[in-house]
Amino acid sequence: MNIDQETFATFRQEVKDGFSQIQQSLRSNDSRLSSMDKRLDSMDKHIDFMDKRFDSIDKRIDTLNIKLDDTTRRLSSRLDMLQSEVTFLHRSVYKIEDKLGSLETKISSLATRVGSLETTVESLGIKVDAHRQETLSSYASIGDIFTKLMDNQDQFENRLTKLEAA
């Protein structure tokens, strides 16, 4: 299978452009795809090497086609793997969103309960203040009664002393 140089140059440029686009889309997933980037960089170096040896490319075109087919299969395999990882990430994000929704509901419920507790505490504070006032009033009444009893005791002692003296 012979390919003329212009067709090959166009093909090579399309491959370069394709690899550049793939590299850009894969860089967004650097943490998981760094090894793929290294391999793609290695492939870019290989393509640059082929540019320098363009005179001998006609002799090696069949070998290059085989290498490109292999690379395409590996890239396709890697892209399938990436797609499954993205699907997994989407599922994980949906699960997290569901859990966050559940937590928001629980937090809202707790906020309502805290509000109810605040109202109950305020009500208890009012009742405690009222009870304190009643207690203070009762102690004041008891104090008045003791004062009267002490006055009456003094009067009884005076009467008793007068009766004993008589």
pLDDT in tens, 17-42: 877 777 777 566 555 556 756 776 77
**Residue 144 to residue 43: CA distance in whole angstroms:** 104
Q: Which of 81, 71, 69 is nearest to 40 (CA)?
A: 71
Q: What was the pLDDT predicted at 160?
A: 81
Alpha helix ranges (H) inside 4-54:
5-27, 30-52
Lowest mean pLDDT among 38-47, 73-82, 95-104: 38-47
Helices 5-27 and 30-52, packing angle to 10 deg = 160
* Mean of the per-residue pLDDT values of the chain: 80
- The number of residues making up the chain comes to 166
What values do phi and psi take at 163, rounded to 5? -70, -40
Residue 88: pLDDT band with limits 50, 70, 90: very high
> Quick one: tokens of 129?
């203040």
Scan for tokens 């090497």, then name that residue: 49
Q: What was the pLDDT predicted at 73?
A: 92
Q: What was the pLDDT predicted at 83?
A: 93
What is the Cα Rg of the chain in Å? 47
User: 69-101 burial by CB neighbour count: b if 16+ within 10 A, else e?
Assistant: eebeeebeebeeebeeeeeeeeeeeeeeeeeee
Question: What is the number of other CB atoms lying within 10 angstroms of the CB of residue 11?
Answer: 14
